[in-house]
Structure 1
Amino acid sequence: MKKVIILTFIALIIFTYVALDLDNHLTLDGLKVGLGQFETWRATSPLLVGLAFFASYILVTALSLPGAVIMTLAAGALFGLFGGTLIVSFASTIGGTLAFLTSRYLLRDLIQQRFGDRLKAINDGVIRDGALYLFTLRLVPVFPFFLVNFLMGLTPISTRIYYVVSQLGMMAGTLVYVNAGTQLAKLKSLSGILSPGLLLSFGLLGIFPLLAKQIMYFMQRRRVYAKWRRPRQFDRNLVVIGAGAAGLVTSYIAAAVKAKVTLIEAHKMGGDCLNYGCVPSKAIIKSARIVHQMRHGENYGLDNTILTFSFRKVMSRVHEVIRTVEPHDSVERYSKLGVEVFQGYARIRDPWTVEVMHDSGSIKLLTTRSIVIATGAQPFIPPLPGLDDVGYVTSDTLWEEFAKLEVPPARFVVLGGGPIGCELAQSFAHLGSQVTQIEKGSRIMAREDEDVSALARDSLERDGVLVLTGHTALRCEREGERKLIVVEHDGVEQRIEFDALLCAVGRVARLSGYGLEDLGIETTRTVVTNDYLETLYPNIYAAGDVAGPYQFTHTAAHQAWYAAVNALFGNVKKFKVDYSVVPWATFIEPEVARVGLNEQDARKKGIAYEVTKFGIDDLDRAIADGNAHGFVKVLTVPGKDKILGVTIMGEHAGDLLAEFVLAMKHGLGLNKVLGTIHTYPTMAEANKYVAGEWKRAHAPQRLLALLERYHSWMRG
Structure 2
Amino acid sequence: MNKKKLLIILTLAALLVAYFVFDLGNYFSLDYLKQSQTTFTAAFAENPVQAVAIFFLVYVLVTAISLPGATILTLAAGALFGALLGTVVVSFASSLGATLAMLASRYVLRDSVQKRFGARLSGLNQGLEKDGAFYLFSLRLIPLVPFFMLNLLMGLTNIKTRTFYWVSQLGMFAATLVYVNAGTQLAAINSLNDIASPGLLLSFVALGLFPLVAKKVVSVFQNKKVYAQWAGQKPKKFDRNLIVIGAGAAGLVTSYIAAVVNAKVTLVEAHKMGGDCLNYGCVPSKALIKSAKLATQMRHAEHYGLDATEPTFSFKRVMARIHEVIKTIAPHDSVERYTGLGVEVLSGYARITNPWTVEITLNTGETQTLTSRSIVISAGAKPVVPPLPGLDAVGYVTSDTLWDEFAKLDAAPARLVVLGGGPIGCELAQSFARLGSKVTQVEMAPRIMMREDQEVSDLARNALTRDGVDVLTGHKALRCERDGERKFIVIAHEGLEQRVEFDALLCAVGRVARLSGYGLEALGIATERTVITNDYLETIYPNIFAAGDVAGPYQFTHVAAHQAWFAAVNALFGDFKRFKVDYSVIPWATFIDPEVARVGLNEQEAREKGIAYEVTQYAIEDLDRAIADGTAYGFVKVLTVPGKDRILGVTIVGEHASDLLTEFVLAMKHGLGLNKILGTIHTYPTLSEANKYAAGEWKRAHAPKRVLAWLGKFHTWRRG
TM-score with structure 1 setting the length: 0.93
Deviates further, 27-36 or 450-459:
27-36
Aligned-partner Cα distance in 2 for 1:94–1:699: 51
The answer to whether residue 718 in structure 2 is matched with residue 684 in structure 1 is: no
For 1:245-644, list aligned pairs within 5 A.
Answer: 245-644=249-648
Query: Aligned letter for 2:223?
Result: R
Aligned pairs for 1:643-662 (under 5 A) are 643-662=647-666
Distance 1:5 1:383 in 2: 58
Deviates more, 1:671-680 or 1:274-283: 671-680
Equivalenced residue count is 716
Alpha-carbon separation, structure 1, partners of 2:100 and 2:84: 24
Give the residue type in structure 1 aligned to 2:459.
Answer: L
SS in 1 for 2:346: strand
Q: Deviations over 1:72-102 (max 9, x none)?
A: 1212333445654454334323443455456
Match of 1:219 among 207, 221, 225: 221
- The answer to whether the 8 Å contact 1:117/1:580 transfers is no
CA distance in 1, matches of 2:33, 2:440: 87
Alpha-carbon distance, 1:609 to partner: 1.5
Relative distance call for 1:86 and 1:660 in structure 2 (3 A) is same
State the AA in 1 paired with 2:176: T
Q: Check whether the contact 2:115–2:610 (CA below 8 A) recurs between aligned residues.
A: no
The answer as to whether partners of 2:118 and 2:609 remain within 8 angstroms in 1 is: no
Q: Which residue of 2 aligns with 1:124?
A: 126
CA distance in 2 between partners of 1:688 and 1:245 (Å): 33
Residue matched to 1:703: 707
* TM-score, with structure 2 as normaliser: 0.92
Distance 2:358 2:382 in 1: 23
Q: Residues 285 and 21 (structure 1 numbering): CA distance in 2 closer, same or farther, change over 3 Å? A: same
Query: Measured at CA, do residues 33 and 415 of structure 1 come closer, stay the same or move farther in structure 2, by a change above 3 Å?
Result: same
Is contact 1:245–1:553 with CA below 8 Å preserved after alignment? yes
Question: Are the equivalent residues in 2 in contact too, given 1:89–1:167 (CA < 8 A)?
Answer: yes
Once the two structures are superposed, what CA deviation does each residue of 1:525-573 show, in whole Å capped at 9, x if it has no partner?
1111111111111111000001111100000000000000000000000
Summarize the Cα distance change of 1:6–1:704 in structure 2 as closer, same or farther, 3 Å threshold: farther
Structure 2 unmatched runs, 5+: none
Q: Pick from 666, 669, 676: which aligns with 1:665?
A: 669
Q: How does 1:47-62 map to 2 (within 5 A)?
A: 53-62=55-64
Task: Report the alpha carbon displacement of residue 626 of structure 1 after superposing the two structures with TM.
Answer: 1.2
Letter in 2 for 1:306: E
SS state at 2:36 partner: helix
Shift of 1:402: 1.2
Equivalent residue letter for 1:535 = T
Indicate the larger mover: 509-518 or 81-90: 81-90
Find the residue that maps to 1:232 and give its secondary structure.
coil
Cα distance 1:11–1:677, how it changes in 2: closer, same or farther (>3 A)? farther
Task: Identify if the C-alpha distance between structure 1 residues 568 and 288 changes in structure 2 by more than 3 Å, giving closer, same or farther.
Answer: same
Query: What's 1:149 paired with?
Result: 151
- Helix, strand or coil for the counterpart of 2:229? coil
What is residue 234 of structure 1 aligned with on the other side?
Answer: 238
Matching residue's letter, 1:135:
F
**CA 1:637–1:198 in 2, change beyond 3 Å: closer, same or farther?**
closer
Q: Note the C-alpha offset of 1:681.
A: 1.5
Change (3 A) 1:301 1:594: same
Q: Counterpart of 1:239 in structure 2: which amino acid?
A: I
Q: How does 1:10-29 map to 2 (within 5 A)?
A: 23=25, 25-29=27-31
Q: What per-residue deviation string (whole Å, max 9, x for no partner) do you get for residues 358-405 of structure 1?
A: 122110111111110001011111111111111111111111111132
1:177 Cα offset (Å) = 2.8
Mapped pair 1:35 → 2:37 = yes
Residues 1:135 and 1:436: Cα distance change in structure 2 (over 3 Å): same
Deviation at 1:142, TM superposition (A): 5.8
Deviates more, 1:680-689 or 1:559-568: 680-689
Q: Secondary structure at the match of 2:526?
A: coil
Residues 125-174 of structure 1: CA deviation (Å, up to 9, x unaligned): 22211122212332444654234335534544344432332133223432
Q: CA deviation at 1:316?
A: 0.9
Pair 1:259–1:24, CA change in 2 (3 A): same
Q: Which runs of 5+ in 1 are unaligned?
A: none
Distance 1:540 1:89, change over 3 A: same
Structure 2 counterpart SS, 1:287: helix
* Superposed CA offset, 1:218-277 (max 9, x none): 122112212220011011100001100000000000000110001111111000000000
Answer whether contact 1:621 1:683 (CA < 8 A) is retained.
yes
Deviation at 1:23, TM superposition (A): 4.5
SS in 2 for 1:226: helix
Match of 1:184 in 2: 186
Q: Deviations over 1:150-209 (max 9, x none)?
A: 553454434443233213322343244334434434556656657999878766754444
Matched to 2:134, the amino acid is: L
Corresponding residue for residue 67 of structure 1: 69
* Matched-pair contact (CA < 8 Å) for 1:637–1:644: yes
Percent of residue pairs identical: 71
C-alpha RMSD over aligned residues: 2.9
Cα distance in structure 2, aligned partners of 1:693 and 1:107: 35
- Does the aligned pair in 2 maintain the 1:630–1:648 contact within 8 Å? yes
In structure 2, how many angstroms separate the alpha carbons of the residues matched to 1:186 and 1:510? 71
Answer yes or no: is the 8 Å Cα contact 1:387–1:475 preserved in 2. yes
Instruction: Tell me how far apart the structure 2 counterparts of residues 344 and 418 of structure 1 sit (CA, whole Å).
Output: 33
The alpha carbon displacement at 1:8 in A equals 9.1
TM-aligned CA deviation for residue 707 of structure 1: 2.4
Asked whether the 8 Å contact 1:581–1:665 carries over to 2, the reply is yes
